[in-house]
Amino acid sequence: MDFDSNAQLNLGEYTEGGGGVPPSIVTDDWMNALTNELINIITAGGGTPNIAVHNQAITAINALIASAVAALVAASPAALDTLNELAAALGDDANFATTVNNALALKAPLASPAFTATPVAPTAVNGTNTTQLATTAFVQAAIGLLGSVYAAVSHSHSIANVTSLQTTLDGKAPTSHSHTIASVTSLQSSLDAKAPLAAPTFTGIPAAPTAAAGTNSTQLATTAFVKALGDLRARWTNSGFNTPTMTLSAAAPPAAGTAGRIWMQYTP
C-alpha cells in the first residue's frame, strides 16, 4: 500500500509540522485502506480482529509463515522438516545429484551384468540345481562328489577287469605275424602272372615306351623305333643314292664318328 498521496510528507515521512513545514494530513480513505489491510492479514492468519489485542498482526503473520512452511515440508518427518536437516541428509553435498549418478555408474545392471575384477557370491548348497550362480567352491565340491562315484579321468585296468576283452583278443591275429605264400589266398597265382626282373619271358604282345630317334642304350627297342630306322633307309634309297652299307665293327669309326655307336658308311 502506498503512502497517502494527499498527505503532506517531509522527505517521504509524516510530520507534525513546524519550522515552516506544514503537518501531514492523513485522509480517512487512506486510514480505511490500512485498516482493511491489517484486518485481511489477521483474518488470513486465522484470527478475529479484536481492538483489545495488540499483537494480532504479528500472530497472523507467524501463522501464515508456519502454514507456508508446513505446505513446503508437507508430511516430512520431524528429522527432515528444516533446510538444515535436509542438507545434512544429503551429506551437505552441493553436487548431490552428480555424486549419486557417479555412484550408480559403478553398479551392475540387473539385466546381463558384466562384472569385472573378482566378483564373489554366496556358495550354493551341494546338489543345488537352479539358476543360482555357481561359485568356484560349489564347482570344486561337485567335482569332489563325482570323484567318489566315477573313476579318475586317467586310470588303468587289467585285461581281466574289462568284460569280454580277453575273449575278443583271442579271436584276433597278433599285430606281428607271418604267412607262407600258400596261406594267402590267390597270392601264388597273382605272382605267376608277373614277369621276373631277371631274364623275363614275355607272352602275348608286350609293349614298352618307344625310345627317341638315335637312342643308343640298353633301353628296349619297340617296333616303332625300328620302323623309324627303316623309313630313314627307304628315304635314302629313293633319293637315288646307293644302298648304304651298315657295318658292325670294333674298328675305329671313320672321321667324325664316335666309338661304340652304329655307323653307316655310304659307298657311291
Residue 251, domain extent: 207-268
Name the domain boundary from 50, 74, 98. Answer: 74
Whether residue 44 is contained in a domain is answered as yes
In the predicted structure, residue 13 carries a pLDDT above the cut 80: no
Whether residue 174 is contained in a domain is answered as no
CA distance 56 to 46: 10
- Residue 42, pLDDT score: 92
Whether residue 52 is contained in a domain is answered as yes
Per-residue pLDDT band for 246 (boundaries 50, 70, 90) equals low
Whether residue 37 is contained in a domain is answered as yes
Whether residue 183 is contained in a domain is answered as no
Whether residue 119 is contained in a domain is answered as no
Name the domain boundary from 74, 96, 111. Answer: 74
Over residues 165-196, the pLDDT tens digits come to: 888 988 887 777 788 888 889 888 888 888 88
The domain tally of the chain equals 2
Name the domain boundary from 74, 109, 127. Answer: 74
Find which of 73-87, 157-171, 241-255 is predicted with most confidence, using mean pLDDT: 157-171
Per-residue pLDDT band for 130 (boundaries 50, 70, 90) equals very high
Listed in sequence order, the DSSP H helices in the chain are: 28-44, 56-73, 83-89, 96-105, 136-147, 165-170, 187-192, 223-238
Whether residue 223 is contained in a domain is answered as yes
For 57, half-sphere exposure in the C-beta direction (CA atoms, 13 angstrom radius) is: 8
Whether residue 15 is contained in a domain is answered as yes
Over residues 67-115, the pLDDT tens digits come to: 888 887 777 788 887 889 889 999 999 999 999 999 999 899 999 999 9
Over residues 197-206, the pLDDT tens digits come to: 888 888 889 8
- Residue 268, pLDDT score: 46
